Amino acid sequence: MHAMPTLVIGNKLYSSWSMRPWLLMRQLGIAFDEILIPLDRPDTKARVLEHSPAGKVPILIDSDVTVWETLAIMEYVGDAYDAQVWPVDLKARAMARSVAAEMHAGFQGLRSTCPMNLGKKYARRDRGDAVAKDVARFSDIVRQARERFGQGGPFLFGEFSAADAMYAPLVTRLDTYSIALDTTTQAYVDAVLALPAFQEWRNAALTEAWIVDADEVDEEPIEVYRQAALRQGPGTHES
């Protein structure tokens, strides 16, 4: 029987990589403890290095096993907890792994121009060619996955999988920056945002006091979901 693992994460308001394994483990019903290390503070790097030599969140600590990097954590969870991390169907599983890896390495235009920020909403406007290209590619992924493998539920491959967890922070960006989407993509975005696990994460994020300047864009929001915040200086940033 497993002792409860511990997931080391960054700020829930901003930390996209932390959200991914957290959502997956919640959706799979795997209980875990949580250590939250605020990003972009003078002691951030030292505190993270206490848990992993890579010096980045997220980190999963399971007894004498330490796993870092999001996809590695997801694969470990599947192995160690006999959990259905990926779709059962071989073809669906192959595509799910492919698009998850694509998310890990790609979408730099959207990630850099539209940082994850669950505390605000911005007006719809032209965000540039790089963002438009990434949004078009994401919509292609959603359409292809839903058409081929989405019969069993509202997510990319029907039931929630690691692929959905990988794209969840991108989904929040589309919502935060009011990006125009086709009907199929918007329905998928709405399904992810309605997840109880995501709502739990977001509600906790809105209670956080810290501001990370690197993740705040220089424009007036149309909605602000939290009021009290403590600004921190420059430091370790993630995208």
pLDDT(230) > 80: no
pLDDT(228) > 60: no
The segment(s) of the chain belonging to CATH 3.40.30.10 are 6-80
- CA 10/CA 77 separation, integer angstroms: 19
Helix or strand run (H / E) with residue 60: strand 59-62
Residue 209's pLDDT is 87
pLDDT(239) > 50: no
Mean pLDDT across the stretch 12-21? Answer: 98
Residue 237's pLDDT is 40
pLDDT(236) > 50: no
pLDDT(231) > 60: no
CA nearest to 225, candidates 210, 201, 205, 195: 205
- CATH class of the 90-199 domain in this structure: mainly alpha
Q: What is the pLDDT of residues 81-102, one digit of tens each?
A: 999 999 999 999 999 999 999 9
What confidence category does residue 3 fall into, taking pLDDT thresholds of 50, 70 and 90? confident
What confidence category does residue 226 fall into, taking pLDDT thresholds of 50, 70 and 90? confident
Mean pLDDT across the stretch 199-225? Answer: 93
- CA 92/CA 111 separation, integer angstroms: 26
Give me the CATH code for the 6-80 domain, please.
Answer: 3.40.30.10
Q: What is the pLDDT of residues 137-173, one digit of tens each?
A: 999 999 999 999 999 999 999 999 999 999 999 999 9
The segment(s) of the chain belonging to CATH 1.20.1050.10 are 90-199
Q: What is the pLDDT of residues 53-65, one digit of tens each?
A: 999 999 999 999 9
Mean pLDDT across the stretch 90-119? Answer: 97
Kindly calculate the radius of gyration of the chain based on its CA atoms and give it in whole angstroms: 17
Report pTM.
0.93
Q: CB within 8 A of 161, min separation 6: which ones? A: 84, 85, 86, 87, 96, 155
